[in-house]
Chain A
Amino acid sequence: MIRRDRRLFWIGFAVILALLAAAPLVLPPFWRHFVTEVLIWGLLAMSSDILIGYTGLISFGHSAFFGLGVYGAAAALLLVAPPNLFLAIALGLVAAALVAGFVAYFSTRLRDIYFAITTLIFSQIFYVVIFTWTSVTGGENGLTFTRPGLGIPGLYVVRFTPVTMHWFVLAVVAVSYLILRRITRSPFGMVLQSIRENESRTRAIGYHVEHYKMVAVMLSGLFAGLAGVLYALQNEFAAADFVFFLVSGETVIYNVMGGIGTLAGPLVGAAFFLLLREALSRYFTEYYLIPLGIIFIAMVIFMPQGLLGFARRWLNR
């Protein structure tokens, strides 16, 4: 039974991967770009699911990790000549990890609601710093840079085309998904889930809950930073807006819409949200968040397990 489940999972994974890999070859440019963006936001949403779905901590501060990933990559691309892809990824991850470590240290002293509020406030600290430190970050205007090529610098470098960029993003997201999935099924992931289910009991058994939470926040921040790096590479642009609260809020929405604690769900949620945004903004122009917010509230009340959880329950019946 378990073996069958596993085979089913890998078949499903391969099919979806193949479909996503083929997507840029058949889709028009707008939708190709759209699918790439969904993957990037999906990675951000998945990273946040480690906290929301598996540890029971709602982070309203993921924009800080994401934004620092964007700015870290930007810094590497602007300061080092010639721009190097791997250096950008490394610096983006380091920046996100540093911020995540800082946030994790303070916010994990608190539970539930307090955690949500402190992560929100921390992300706003970084937003204010980045927004007002115009000489370095470009403030409101942001920074623009050019995307480096893929390969070993000096030896062999190919320039990205939109299609290869999509494949690169897909590869990173797919590998990240597998790593995150492995983590959630590891003993460490089990401890996180037991913190979600009953924190005091987990503590009583003898686990150092704070350490586990701290590592969970840092891990989550690291993958959020990776999403930020991908976003920077895709759009060749960094701005203070990426550190703003709205990004964190949307990340939470992706999770809830897709189904928290399912890992793949948040990616589905991101796709659903972005599709809804496309559809709704035809009728509601820039006020699409009014109907979208109402749909979101309705899903919180009536479909708390999200799209994927709902589908899964329906299939099992």
Chain B
Amino acid sequence: MTIPWDLIVIQTVNGVVTGMILALVASGLTLIFGIMDVVNFAHGELFMLGAYLGVLVLASTGSFWLALIIASLVVALLGAALQIVTLRPLIGRDPLTTILATFGISLVLQNYALWQFGPISRKIAEPVSGQFRLFYLEYPWYRLVIAAASAAIIGAFWLFLKYGRYGIWIRATTQDRVMAQAMGIPVPWVYTGVFAIGSAMAAASGVLFGPLVGVEPYMGLAWVLKAFIVVVVGGMGNFGGSIVAAIFVSLLEAYASIWVSPSQAIIVSFVALILTLLFRPTGLFGSAVR
């Protein structure tokens, strides 16, 4: 069997593009987990709602970038509201109860979307038309644009965490919740804020990814699963690790789908997960001993 170099190059580009979006989803998830100890089962549904809001705003304003911003803001508000209503009463209880609560949220949101928008998948038009030649393909610029946009959002968030006033609050809360509270940081509101930021990141990735796949009520589960894999492989709560793992897993899947159908290619990332659990249960980039 000769090695199909052209296909490998194409799939590398595809893998990096999907990986960047996945990194955006996963970093929201890992942020919420790292700081609040909450596994957000509803993350995929926030992603899906973001995509739907993108569809709606795009239809009424015609601007994709406006849709991206509005969808992120609305889902951030929704996330904050959900956190205040459902997760705040659970602070201090067994962290496992938060899985149950967010699972309940995901059921409600998924069925709400099904009720509101129907089962038929919708499309978001690509904001950047243009194509460039990649071997025999006309590769759309848009895909590179969304990869760059995801990277920009992640980068901006990283700068915010590092230098922003509230970013420092967030890091302080991660390090020592009680001490942060004692220093006057409003920890419950930091939690709400973190959940809102994570939700916004999910929504932004939903809007960005909308043009590549159809937007439908059940799209959340597939993405949240992938994001979970990434987060476990990257080391739970490890921000940088999950980004590297996102690209790694997406590349694996992209290469695998040269030979098998994409629905089976996901098994490759499952295998990556199993191998990680076997040899490095704390994740490839996790150093903390649990």
Contact = CB atoms under 8 A, between A and B. Distances in A.
Q: Give the bracket for the number of chain B residues in contact with chain A.
A: 35 or more
Given A128-B267, A290-B115, A304-B97, A114 B107 contact: no
B95 A287 contact: no
Interface stretch (A14-22, A80-88, A160-168, A295-303): A295-303
B232 A297 contact: no
B93 A118 contact: no
A289 B270 CA distance: 29
A297 B105 contact: yes
Contacts, number: 102
13 contacts: A58-B96, A58-B99, A58-B100, A111-B290, A114-B236, A116-B99, A122-B270, A128-B263, A128-B266, A131-B263, A252-B103, A296-B100, A296-B104
A94 interface: no
Contact of A109 (B103, B104, B107, B277): B277
Interface stretch (B2-10, B51-59, B144-152, B221-229): B221-229
Contact of A121 (B110, B236, B273): B273
A112 interface: yes
Contact of A113 (B99, B103, B229, B264): B99
Contacts of A125: 267, 270
A290 B103 contact: no
Contacts of A294: 104, 108
Interface in A222-278: 245, 249, 252, 256
B114 interface: yes
B60 interface: no
Interface string A85-122: 00000000000000000000011011111101110111
Contact of B270 (A56, A58, A121): A121
Given A113-B236, A121-B229, A301-B89, 16 more contacts: A58-B96, A60-B103, A113-B99, A117-B228, A121-B228, A124-B270, A131-B263, A132-B261, A249-B103, A249-B107, A287-B111, A290-B111, A290-B115, A296-B107, A300-B100, A301-B90
B229 A252 contact: no
A253 to B, nearest CB: 8
B86 interface: yes
A128 B262 CA distance: 11
A7 to B, nearest CB: 34
Contacts of A122: 270
Interface string B111-129: 1101100000000000000
Contacts of A60: 103
A293 B103 CA distance: 9
A111 B115 CA distance: 36
